[in-house]
Amino acid sequence: DQQVKQNSPSLSVQEGRISILNCDYTNSMFDYFLWYKKYPAEGPTFLISISSIKDKNEDGRFTVFLNKSAKHLSLHIVPSQPGDSAVYFCAASAWGNGNKLVFGAGTILRVKS
Amino acid sequence: EAGVTQFPSHSVIEKGQTVTLRCDPISGHDNLYWYRRVMGKEIKFLLHFVKESKQDESGMPNNRFLAERTGGTYSTLKVQPAELEDSGVYFCASSQAGTGNEKLFFGSGTQLSVL
């Protein structure tokens, strides 16, 4: 039973344009959501997070939007750069679960120059 | 500051053999986690240590997997005997003590191939 789903295995975007990565979840107990970025042969690195009490969090070129009623979140990267090419994982956790993250399967982002 | 270190980076073993993976967390991080990614799928939680104690081992697949964290520093994950379906990338992560939602720092992982 996959509680966090990233339905797009890959996404290709032109440099300078917006990248939108999507994530859906099913567990209504999730109250904290994160995006991790992963380069080949490296571990995932934290990118941005959002608490369920917010609907938007922004950090430079990266913005995460949360729609609790739809159980959907998205990551916007504007403008996209070739160095953003990586696998992006959506993750979620529930309060009191000790940082036990539930990950999606990842979306491969390719930013073409 | 050194990050999370995992050893070995790759391991190729035959079915039935034993393999031990090691993780050195960031110094001072009480929380240590093991995760696994199989065949390009989602990264799945295996277990969580707080210092030397197992806080949550609900993700451990079966009793062929044994994790230890003696002294609350580095951790080992032993697979004995290994099966084909154990192949995947094993990630270790650590975080500081807190109330939850602390940032996890991941190691580069160990790519395990069971033939």
Name the DSSP class of B27: T
Closest CA to B83 of B68, B61, B58, B110: B61
Is there a contact between B100 and A89 if contact means CB atoms under 8 Å apart? no
The answer for B71, left when phi > 0, alpha when psi is -120 to 50, beta otherwise, is: left
Which domain, by its residues, includes B61?
Answer: 5-114
Say yes or no: B49 contacts chain A, CB-CB below 8 A.
no
B26 part of contact set with chain A, CB < 8 Å = no
> Residue B44: which CATH number?
2.60.40.10
Number of domains in chain B: 1
Domain ranges (residues) in chain A: 4-112
Judged against a pLDDT cut of 80, whether residue B101 lies above it is answered with: no
Average pLDDT over residues A55-81: 98
Q: In the A/B pair of chains, how many CB contacts fall below 8 A?
A: 69
β-pairing, A107-112 vs A10-14, is parallel
Confidence of residue A2 (pLDDT cuts 50, 70, 90): confident
Residue A97 has what pLDDT?
A: 73
Residue A77's closest CA among A91, A60, A89? A60
pLDDT for position B99: 60
Question: Model confidence at A52, in pLDDT bands (50, 70, 90)?
Answer: very high
Which of A42, A43, A98 is nearest residue B100 as measured by Cβ atoms? A98
Q: Which CATH number fits domain A4-112: 3.30.470.20, 3.30.70.890, 3.40.50.800, 2.60.40.10?
A: 2.60.40.10
pLDDT of residue A34: 95
Confidence of residue B100 (pLDDT cuts 50, 70, 90): low
Mean pLDDT across B14-19: 97
How far from A108 is each of A19, A70, A95, A96, B5, CA to CA, in Å? 11, 23, 29, 31, 25
Q: Which of B101, B105, B108 to mutate to test the interface with A (most CBs of A within 10 A)?
A: B101
Asked if residues A53 and A32 have their Cβ atoms less than 8 Å apart, the reply is no
Say if residue B71's pLDDT is above 90: no
